[in-house]
Amino acid sequence: MSLPEFWFLLIAVLFTGYFVLEGFDFGVGMLMPVIGRGDEQKRRTVLNTIGPVWDGNEVWLLTGGGAMFAAFPEWYASLFSGFYLALLLILVGLITRACAIEWRGKINNPRWRTWCDVGIALGSWIPALAWGLAFANIVHGVKLNGHRHIEGTVLDLLNPYGILGGLATLLLFLLHGAVFIALKTGNEVRDDAQRIIRLLFAPTAVVVVAFGLWTQLAHGNGWTWIPLVLAVVGLVVAGLAATQGRDGWAFTGTAVTIASATVLLFGSLFPHVLPSTINDAFSLTVDGRNGTVAASSTHYTLVVMSWVAVALVPVVLIYQAWTYWVFSKRLTVEQIPAPIGLPMESARS
């Protein structure tokens, strides 16, 4: 394996980790207004399921974006030239969600908390949809010209394949978040989450399988049938486990589905990093094979980055695993105190 191929693989791993971990954060944020409707204690219980981990999960995106910038600067630059608005919407959504989570408990006022909940919801819905839209278009190809600029407008991203990709990630993250809430909570909150799982499972399965098959038939290769099959198996396991109340297996199933779907996308993309629909000679690939444009950095840059990655990535993985282990217990409404100055009866009305 060459160094450009190694860094393409590492970026795929980083985005896989990001979608698996941040995926349930998005799902929890989207479901807060549903599960906690009219009940402050429920909303706080739902939010507390991701309280210790949500900001750590975003580190995967920062690392993946930084790796893309350093290892494949041509990919990074061309991507932002055509996906600027979509990526800006993701960034605004993430900032809005972060501010809403951090500031929600700073003022003991129901209206303030309501507006923060709106920010958490919007900051979860927008990236959940936009990530699928963006990655579907990256795999599909864009109007990349000889100057490595993407022609057209953001409306070009709203093609049938891109829209289906956005719906697939949106529904999959919703299901993933509902399963995570069921895994992390007890009593009435868990019951609400399980009802949502039953409502979401069928439409999620249909959309995700349709998008996976379209990706495989239009852009995949021989070995990418494997992650597609694993994604379907993960959905089946999640559905069966959820009906039996086996939350750990259900969460494992949705996590496998998200990971496999991400592998399917990156596997269908390779060796390209940004295909051109104008002329394949304008396409960006990991190493410039077949007369295309090489997107990777110099060999020396990749060598230095590789040593840093080998030294630091295991430390990050161990620390994050330890964090999840420490905060692994279930939460219930009874464990959440009422807001200061607000009786329990009023908090739950």
DSSP 49-97: TTTTTHHHHTHHHHHHHHHHHHH-HHHHHHHHHHSHHHHHHHHHHHHHH
Mean pLDDT of 306-319: 87
pLDDT for 159: 92
pLDDT for 168: 96
Greatest mean pLDDT among 88-97, 138-147, 202-211, 271-280 lies in 202-211
What's the pLDDT tens digit per position in 264-307? 999 999 999 999 989 889 999 998 888 888 889 989 999 999 99
Q: Sorting pLDDT into bands at 50, 70 and 90, what band is 345?
A: very low
Contact call for residues 278 and 143 (beta carbons, < 8 A):
yes
Q: Sorting pLDDT into bands at 50, 70 and 90, what band is 344?
A: very low
Amino acid at 259: A
Q: Inform me whether the pLDDT recorded for 258 exceeds 80.
A: yes
Q: Sorting pLDDT into bands at 50, 70 and 90, what band is 343?
A: very low
H or E element in which residue 252 lies: helix 247-269
User: What are the strands, taking DSSP E only, across 256-324?
Assistant: 272-274, 284-285, 293-294
pLDDT for 59: 87
What's the predicted TM-score (pTM) here?
A: 0.91
Q: Inform me whether the pLDDT recorded for 320 exceeds 90.
A: no
